[in-house]
């Protein structure tokens, strides 16, 4: 379910609350189509992802997973790779993305949340990656996303023991940015999204691109910034930003 706001914020809701928003082929196709449409929409400035009902996403539908066991490994590899890439297409959006983890985020569902640029969780939301307890190797880039977000030690503990973190603990350990009371979560996240959307679109997109590169040394960062910053210095938005600062008013950025 997609809800577009006039300020450029788009709310994407995983909407299968009767099964805790578990992933199926149909849901995967709908998600892929939604990401494709958002990527092509130049009016979008920030995307928020949340879940309907009491869960964010319970991960792969277990009945769907059970049916896969009859397929040969080469075909399964192709199927799973397409599945992963469909859901992780959220990382290909040029605009900032925010996950509002309103309830349980399990396995692949947790990975989709962690694939967003910013992650906020309800205080009591459960975050876990119980792959090995189901007899599965982790998937959906869990072995990359978990250590990349919160460090190797926590990633090992979550993936090897199946440990569950509540939202408050996940915030304390850096797995999510911040935790809020469940009833306040979406309102708080939408406020943050509006702050992101209000910033200059070109500068914001280029900043996201820089952060995705994960510069390994100082010179790599300088090489990128010495090109990207001059691009924004020639934009109408920079002129507007400077004028608004000088005149002590809110800037009106147009993305030009």
Same domain, 140 and 55: yes
Question: Distance between CA atoms of 233 and 203, rounded to whole angstroms?
Answer: 9
Spatial CA neighbour of 49 closest among 185, 204, 207? 185
Catalogue the E-assigned strands of the chain: 2-4, 9-14, 46-51, 55-57, 97-101, 104-106, 118-122, 126-128, 165-166, 178-180
Q: What is the pLDDT of residue 51?
A: 98
Residue 253, domain member (yes or no) = no
Please, which residues have CB within 8 angstroms of residue 208's CB and are 6 or more apart in sequence?
A: 94, 95, 96, 117
Q: At what angle do helices 218-233 and 201-213 cross, to 10 degrees?
A: 170
Residue 116, domain member (yes or no) = yes
Same domain, 109 and 73: yes
Q: What string of pLDDT tens digits covers the 256 residues of the chain?
A: 899 999 999 999 999 999 999 998 899 999 999 999 999 999 999 999 999 999 999 998 877 676 666 788 888 899 889 999 999 999 999 999 999 999 999 999 999 999 999 999 999 999 999 999 989 999 999 999 999 999 999 999 999 999 999 999 999 999 999 999 999 999 999 999 999 999 999 999 999 999 999 898 999 999 999 999 999 999 999 998 989 899 999 999 998 8
Q: pTM for the full model?
A: 0.94
Q: What is the pLDDT of residue 191?
A: 98
Q: What is the pLDDT of residue 76?
A: 87
197, 214, 231 — which closes off a domain?
Answer: 197
Same domain, 168 and 229: no
Residue 176, domain member (yes or no) = yes
Same domain, 32 and 144: yes
Same domain, 88 and 50: yes
Tell me the CATH number at 159: 3.90.226.10
Same domain, 100 and 191: yes
77-123 pLDDT, tens digit each = 998 899 999 999 999 999 999 999 999 999 999 999 999 999 999 99
Residue with tokens 């082929």: 25
Same domain, 159 and 217: no
* Biggest CA pair distance of the chain: 67
Backbone CA torsion sign across 54, 55, 56, 62? negative
Same domain, 148 and 213: no
Q: What is the pLDDT of residue 63?
A: 73
Same domain, 188 and 205: no
Residue 172, domain member (yes or no) = yes
Question: Distance between CA atoms of 138 and 161, rounded to whole angstroms?
Answer: 12
159, 179, 197 — which closes off a domain?
Answer: 197
User: Per the structure, how many domains does the chain have?
Assistant: 2
Q: What is the pLDDT of residue 29?
A: 95
Residue 255, domain member (yes or no) = no
- What domain range includes position 226? 201-247
DSSP assignment, residue 170? H
Residue 254, domain member (yes or no) = no
Same domain, 191 and 215: no
Same domain, 124 and 186: yes
182, 197, 212 — which closes off a domain?
Answer: 197
Question: Distance between CA atoms of 185 and 170, rounded to whole angstroms?
Answer: 15
Residue 36, domain member (yes or no) = yes
Q: Residue 63: is it exposed, middle or buried by C-beta count within 10 angstroms (0-12/13-18/19+)?
A: exposed
Residue 46, domain member (yes or no) = yes
Q: What is the pLDDT of residue 66?
A: 66
Q: What is the pLDDT of residue 62?
A: 73
Same domain, 172 and 205: no
Q: What is the pLDDT of residue 68?
A: 63
């Amino acid at each position: 379910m997609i809800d577009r706001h006039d300020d450029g914020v788009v709310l994407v809701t995983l909407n299968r609350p009767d099964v805790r928003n578990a992933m199926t082929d149909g849901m995967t196709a709908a998600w892929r189509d939604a990401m494709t449409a958002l990527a092509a929409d130049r009016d979008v400035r920030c995307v928020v992802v949340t879940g309907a009902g009491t869960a964010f996403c319970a991960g792969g539908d277990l009945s769907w997973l059970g049916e896969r066991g009859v397929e040969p490994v080469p075909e399964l590899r192709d199927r799973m790779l397409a599945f992963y890439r469909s859901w992780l297409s959220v990382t290909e959006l040029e605009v900032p993305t925010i996950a509002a983890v309103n309830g349980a985020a399990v396995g692949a569902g947790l990975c989709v949340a962690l694939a967003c640029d910013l992650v906020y969780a309800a205080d009591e939301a459960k975050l876990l990656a119980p792959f090995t307890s189901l007899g599965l190797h982790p998937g959906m880039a869990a072995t990359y996303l978990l250590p990349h977000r919160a460090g190797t030690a926590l990633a090992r503990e979550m993936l090897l023991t199946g440990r569950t973190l509540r939202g408050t603990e996940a915030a304390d350990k850096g797995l999510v940015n911040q935790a809020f009371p469940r009833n306040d979560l979406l309102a708080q996240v939408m406020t943050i999204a509006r702050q992101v959307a209000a910033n200059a679109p070109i500068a914001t997109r280029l900043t996201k691109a820089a952060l995705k590169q994960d510069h390994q040394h100082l010179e790599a960062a300088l090489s990128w910034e010495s090109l990207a910053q001059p691009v924004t210095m020639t934009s109408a938005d920079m002129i507007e930003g400077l004028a608004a600062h000088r005149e002590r008013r809110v800037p009106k950025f147009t993305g030009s």
